[in-house]
Structure 1
């Protein structure tokens, strides 16, 4: 089983990743600004900013543990996060789970789902096999 979770804020309407960092007082795992080059070789540039906070847990644990870790950091900033989405930032929880077809079930219990609902953002689940 391979799992991970990242909370993402995209500023497609003029918001910057630096402004998110200042308002939240949290250091992101990664941040990108509008106008930054996409990749090293591409001539493309980003149209909007992107602020990412990853759980930073080892990838072998439960998806719920990754989400709890992020929530522990983000819940104290809930009002600021709602303010950012009110300013046009788009929030989501990007989650990855890779497993053999019948190996593992992902459990997101009601208390965890309640915590997620208190913070803006849709829950995106990228579920796949972990075959090479």
Structure 2
């Protein structure tokens, strides 16, 4: 089983990733600004800013543990995160769960779901096979 979770804040209204970092007093795992090059194709530039905080837990653990790791860092900043949403930023929780067929169930219990609801953002689950072929 391979798992991971990232809290993403994007700003397509002119907001910057740098502004997110300043307001949250929290260093992102990665940050990208409008106008920065995207990929290797010349002339392709980023149209939205993106601020990412990813769990640094090992990728073989439970998805819930990755979400708890993120929540432990973001819940104390909840008011500031909601302020960003009110300013036009968009947030989501991007989660990866890659497993061999019928290997593992993902459990997100009610207390974890209640914690997630204290912060903005839809929960996105990218569930895929982890078969090596």
| TM-score bracket for the superposition, by shorter chain length | over 0.9
Partner-residue secondary structure (3-state), 1:82: helix
State the Cα distance separating 1:100 from its structure 2 match: 1.1
| Inter-partner Cα distance in structure 2 for 1:119 and 1:41 | 36
How many residue pairs get aligned? The number is 132
Deviations 1:3-26 (A, max 9, x none): 000000000111000000000000
State the Cα distance separating 1:131 from its structure 2 match: 1.4
State the Cα distance separating 1:42 from its structure 2 match: 4.1
Partner-residue secondary structure (3-state), 1:60: coil
Partner-residue secondary structure (3-state), 2:125: strand
Which runs of 5 or more residues in structure 2 are unaligned?
A: none
TM-score relative to the length of structure 2? 0.97
* Residue matched to 2:122: 122
* Residue matched to 1:95: 95
State the Cα distance separating 1:40 from its structure 2 match: 3.5
Partner-residue secondary structure (3-state), 1:91: strand
TM-score relative to the length of structure 1? 0.98
* Residue matched to 2:111: 111
| Inter-partner Cα distance in structure 2 for 1:42 and 1:57 | 35
Deviations 1:68-115 (A, max 9, x none): 000000000000000001111000000000001200000000000000
Partner-residue secondary structure (3-state), 1:68: helix
State the Cα distance separating 1:41 from its structure 2 match: 4.0
| Inter-partner Cα distance in structure 1 for 2:71 and 2:11 | 21
Which runs of 5 or more residues in structure 1 are unaligned?
A: none
